[in-house]
Structure 1
Amino acid sequence: MSPSGKTPLARLAVVTVLAGVGAGLGGMALALLLHVIQHVAYGYSLDAVISSESFLQGVSAAPPARRAAVLVVCGLVAGGGWWALYRFGRPLVSIGKAVRAPGEAMPLPETTVHVLLQICTVALGSPLGREVAPREIAAALTGWLSRQAGLNAEEARILVACGAGAGLAAVYNVPLAGALFVLEVLLGTFSLPALLPAIVTSGIAALVAWIGLGDEVQYPVMPFGISPSLVVWSILAGPLFGVAAYGFKRIATAMTARSPEGWRLVPWNLAVFTGIGLVAMSFPQLLGNGRGPLQLSFANDLSLGLAATLLVLRLAVTLAALRAGAKGGLLTPGMTVGALLATVLGCLWTLAWPDAPLGAFALIGAAAFLSASMNMPLTAIALILEFTRVGQDFLFPLIFAVSGSIAAERLCAITFRAAPQPVAVPSASHP
């Protein structure tokens, strides 16, 4: 380190590039591991890690008894794995804590186990998201690199956040959203010292992940256009998503806070995941992080009755998994809830003004609910654009709905005297 306390620019640049490469490799490896476990567990596309057969197609084709059996295994892995980690490992350090206090290093062995447990359980059918795992492993690796390079506290803080965003960019192929996540959520600043490494690390990570995952569009959609009906609906429905997201966030936080401790994790997870498996015998769409129902919503493949049923069941299984003490993200689950709610509302709206496809409503609802449930409007809009590569004119209803949703969520927070904050679930900590 130089006498001024700042790291030489060349060394800082090398660490930044290595952080992006590490995040890309880590995100790619975790995504491939997820696919392998899914294929073996449900017995589909066993000749390829990445195949044209989706997870929803695979679990739907699997015998109902197999779905239930896999979820029993999932409960044992979740309960036993997290109990052992908390019992014998060092305390975990969340990404947020590592960013706020650079001296709080994320323990690499324990974080790796925590990450693998998330990937394994989501692959087996847990309804929580997989996006926290690549963020955590990338942040932990970046923190280690920062310490080895002798970066000062502020430089390390920024790079740990950039590593986390790069992990998100890698696993979902969303470089812009990854960078915005760093700036909007983790650092809360768009200053140049944060902006440059955020863009560089996320861009490198996404490119590196192409080696194993390809330049994949997460949710291919038909070319949606905007219409007067869709624009008016986005303005009117936006606040409804904000209120719903506020309620979901409060309940999810309460369920997480009440999760069991110690050996009770084992029976709780076994019971909850067994129950999810029994329900999934009739509704395979409930298994996994929610990608299946999202794709069905975007493709106009859901009726009003099925969308409403899946909405209720999806909320129930997600909250139940949190109550049991399982870990994972709420990004894709939140998008799923928003898309299903939007499909229900869109079905009713088109009875009076039928000039927009239901998939367009689902796209807008996913962004509006996600933006308010995780307090990241810019990131949510970028995610939808990069997830689907929908046309730029779709920005208008997206912005209207997201703005209304955020405003309503903040109003609810003020009304109930609770400051808006991200859901606590993605944090890595002992229960």
Structure 2
Amino acid sequence: MPVRVAVGVIATGLSVGVAATLVTELLHLIQHLAYGYTDETFLLGVEHADPLRRVLAPTLGLGLAGLAWMWLRRRRLPQVSEACGPKARRLPLGRTTADALLQILAVGTGASIGRERAPRQIGAALASVLSSVLGIGRDTRRRLVIAGAGAGLAVVYNVPLSGVIFGAEVLAGGFGLSGLAIFVPVSLVAVAVSWPVLGMNSVYQLPAGDLDATTLIWALAAAPLCALVGAGFDRLVRWCGRWRPQPTWRLPVATALAGLAVGVAAIWWPSLPGNGKGIVQLGLAGGATALTFALLLVLKPVATAVTAGSGVDGGFLTPALGTGAALGAAVAMAGLSAGQNWPVATFTLIAAVGVLAATQRAPWFAAVFGWELARPSIAMLGVLVVVAWGTALIARRLPWTAQAAPKAEPKQ
């Protein structure tokens, strides 16, 4: 590896690690201020907030973000996908960071959208700027930008392997050795930088348990269900995306109304606001009835599609996970009500990975991402790989999924 490339790899890893850590801390601060809690999780914070606060937080937060986006979008902002493409377009650090911070404001105040796009944008922009400063060629610059985007994702969820695979499978479109030689060290350095502040714990805690016949049967049965749910999620997001307003006065009005809708729904379903983490936590804990999870299975994709369609930018990874978690938990809780001893947490994780694989068309990433988020056994990783690949293959053959799914980011 040439010296300037090695310097770029180390500098990208360090800078993305610091930036993504700061973004994560900013998100937590906004959540605490918006919902008035301190040491609790976001789900508990929303649950303990009074109804008025549940409504006002997303309404005001998304309205303010919409006002700022109305100004920011008067000039087109290049997308991460363009910087990762063959032309390796440069990303403006200032405007890209501003857009990412507005996403954090929206998610922190309760927008039903993923938070992972913001650190990916900042990571890609930092890599783009560093590559230009170091005079790195276009092909290597493209790999560094992909590595920076993957590392941003890796830091906020403490998933270093997933950051590498996301870069390779989703952004680069393959697992070439020349790319992996850059993706791996950048992701590892970035995540290691975040550990003193964000810690080394997994995002979710999965109860210990051995794989049994019920789990294996559910893994096979879940694939077609997850494919259908994922395809419906995609179709709904694409349809609502057609109505995204231009940067006029309609944009802040639309985002505020989307926040109002999510806030009103949060009075009855406090796990609905945010990126979907609350639904996954609720499912892993078996903390609601089968009917509640069935309603969340419908409400989460609807809320995400409405939010994105109003003009709010953000990711779709964790909303898809939350939707899948609702599916798995609904089935497991229904089984428990019928006298079956079905493991709710395992059903939840399997379905979450399946729906993510269907929406992203990235089975390797979906399986490893789900595994790193909860860190179950290696045997469970094998089950998740089977579910992810089975779901992705079925989803590709569904007649209404001929168009590309909404991947890392929607088009403006």
Q: 1:235 aligns with which of 220, 236, 252?
A: 220
Aligned twin of 2:283 = 297
Match for 1:214: what amino acid?
G
Aligned twin of 1:260 = 245
| CA deviation after TM superposition for structure 1 residue 63, in Å | 1.1
Aligned twin of 1:165 = 150
Match for 1:33: what amino acid?
L
1:418 and 2:402 aligned: yes
Aligned twin of 2:351 = 365
Q: Does 72-81 or 36-45 show the bigger shift?
A: 72-81
Give the Cα separation in 1 of the matches to 2:400 and 2:340.
37
Give the Cα separation in 2 of the matches to 1:224 and 1:102.
48
8 Å CA contact 2:62–2:109 kept in 1: the answer is no
Q: 2:33 aligns with which of 17, 20, 40?
A: 40
Residues 47-101 of structure 1, C-alpha deviation per residue, up to 9 Å, x if partnerless? xxxx4x10111111111111111122123123212111112xx421111111114
Matched residue SS, 1:285: coil
Residues 151-206 of structure 1, C-alpha deviation per residue, up to 9 Å, x if partnerless? 11110111110110011111111000000111111111212111111110111111
| CA deviation after TM superposition for structure 1 residue 243, in Å | 2.1
Aligned twin of 1:197 = 182
1:54 and 2:37 aligned: no
Q: Does 339-348 or 360-369 show the bigger shift?
A: 339-348
CA gap of 1:356–1:396, structure 2 versus 1, over 3 A, is: farther
8 Å CA contact 2:335–2:342 kept in 1: the answer is no
Matched residue SS, 1:254: helix
8 Å CA contact 1:102–1:156 kept in 2: the answer is no
Aligned twin of 1:82 = 69
1:381 and 2:367 aligned: yes
| CA deviation after TM superposition for structure 1 residue 387, in Å | 0.6
| CA deviation after TM superposition for structure 1 residue 373, in Å | 0.4
| CA deviation after TM superposition for structure 1 residue 403, in Å | 2.1
8 Å CA contact 2:88–2:141 kept in 1: the answer is no
1:145-160 equivalent positions in 2, closer than 5 A: 145-160=130-145
Give the Cα separation in 2 of the matches to 1:257 and 1:267.
17
Fraction of identical pairs, as percent:
34
Give the Cα separation in 1 of the matches to 2:224 and 2:123.
35
Q: 1:13 aligns with which of 1, 6, 12?
A: 6
Residues 102-121 of structure 1, C-alpha deviation per residue, up to 9 Å, x if partnerless? 45211111101100000011
Aligned twin of 1:400 = 386
Q: 2:22 aligns with which of 6, 13, 29?
A: 29
Match for 1:32: what amino acid?
E
| CA deviation after TM superposition for structure 1 residue 303, in Å | 1.4
Match for 1:85: what amino acid?
L
1:321-332 equivalent positions in 2, closer than 5 A: 321-332=307-318
CA gap of 1:158–1:425, structure 2 versus 1, over 3 A, is: closer
Match for 2:138: what amino acid?
A
Give the Cα separation in 2 of the matches to 1:57 and 1:346.
23
8 Å CA contact 2:34–2:57 kept in 1: the answer is yes
Give the Cα separation in 2 of the matches to 1:224 and 1:114.
42
Give the Cα separation in 2 of the matches to 1:249 and 1:41.
30
Give the Cα separation in 1 of the matches to 2:164 and 2:405.
18
1:68 and 2:55 aligned: yes
8 Å CA contact 1:327–1:425 kept in 2: the answer is no
- Provide structure 1 residue ranges, at least 5 long, that are not aligned to the other structure: 1-7, 46-50
Match for 1:406: what amino acid?
A
8 Å CA contact 1:371–1:406 kept in 2: the answer is yes
1:278-297 equivalent positions in 2, closer than 5 A: 278-297=264-283
Match for 2:23: what amino acid?
L
Match for 2:267: what amino acid?
M
Aligned twin of 2:82 = 97
| CA deviation after TM superposition for structure 1 residue 422, in Å | 3.8
Match for 2:217: what amino acid?
V
Give the Cα separation in 2 of the matches to 1:352 and 1:177.
37
8 Å CA contact 1:235–1:397 kept in 2: the answer is no
1:409 and 2:401 aligned: no
8 Å CA contact 2:286–2:333 kept in 1: the answer is no
8 Å CA contact 1:314–1:337 kept in 2: the answer is yes
Matched residue SS, 2:73: helix
CA gap of 1:355–1:275, structure 2 versus 1, over 3 A, is: closer
Match for 1:71: what amino acid?
P
| CA deviation after TM superposition for structure 1 residue 368, in Å | 0.6
Residues 285-343 of structure 1, C-alpha deviation per residue, up to 9 Å, x if partnerless? 11111111111101222210111122222222111101211110011100000010112
| CA deviation after TM superposition for structure 1 residue 247, in Å | 2.2
Matched residue SS, 1:404: helix
1:247 and 2:240 aligned: no
Give the Cα separation in 2 of the matches to 1:111 and 1:396.
38
Q: Does 253-262 or 25-34 show the bigger shift?
A: 253-262
Matched residue SS, 1:222: coil
8 Å CA contact 1:64–1:282 kept in 2: the answer is no
Match for 1:127: what amino acid?
S
| CA deviation after TM superposition for structure 1 residue 272, in Å | 1.7
Give the Cα separation in 2 of the matches to 1:270 and 1:394.
42
Aligned twin of 1:271 = 257
Q: 1:106 aligns with which of 91, 113, 132?
A: 91
Matched residue SS, 1:293: helix
Q: Does 20-29 or 237-246 show the bigger shift?
A: 237-246
1:226 and 2:219 aligned: no
Give the Cα separation in 2 of the matches to 1:409 and 1:136.
28
Match for 2:286: what amino acid?
N
Match for 1:237: what amino acid?
A
8 Å CA contact 1:83–1:266 kept in 2: the answer is yes
Give the Cα separation in 2 of the matches to 1:186 and 1:138.
13
